[in-house]
Amino acid sequence: RRMVAVVRAEGGINPQIRKDEAKVVDSVLVSDLSKPLTAYCRCWRSGTFPLCDGSHVKHNKETGDNVGPLLLKTK
Ligand code: FES
């Protein structure tokens, strides 16, 4: 039987967003999107989470990471 090791990043991936919640979940009805392009944060550093505010640029510069937003497009 194969063993799978789970390694947790120290402190987790989310440094500060809604830490009082057991699990941070956001739901978006795609048909309600009003703009042709909406960027959703995947770096967990945005001040407007769950929307991207560009904070991933600073995070990537400081850490050498390569994270970016999820782009939802209406066309
Ligand atoms: Fe998190 Fe842009 S601010 S992906």
For the whole prediction, is pTM greater than 0.90? Answer: no
Q: How many angstroms separate the alpha carbon of residue 7 from the centre of ligand 1? A: 24
Residue 17 lies in a domain: no
Domain boundaries, position 46: 35-73
Give pLDDT, residue 6.
55
Higher pLDDT, 70 or 7: 70
pLDDT tens digits along 2-51: 666 555 556 789 999 999 999 999 999 988 888 899 999 999 999 999 99
Whether 23 is catalytic is yes
Residue among 56, 62, 28 nearest 42 (CA): 56
What's the complex ipTM? 0.99
- CATH number reported for the structural domain that contains residue 56 in this entry: 3.40.5.90
Q: Which residue minimizes the CA distance to atom 2 of ligand 1?
A: 52
Give pLDDT, residue 10.
67
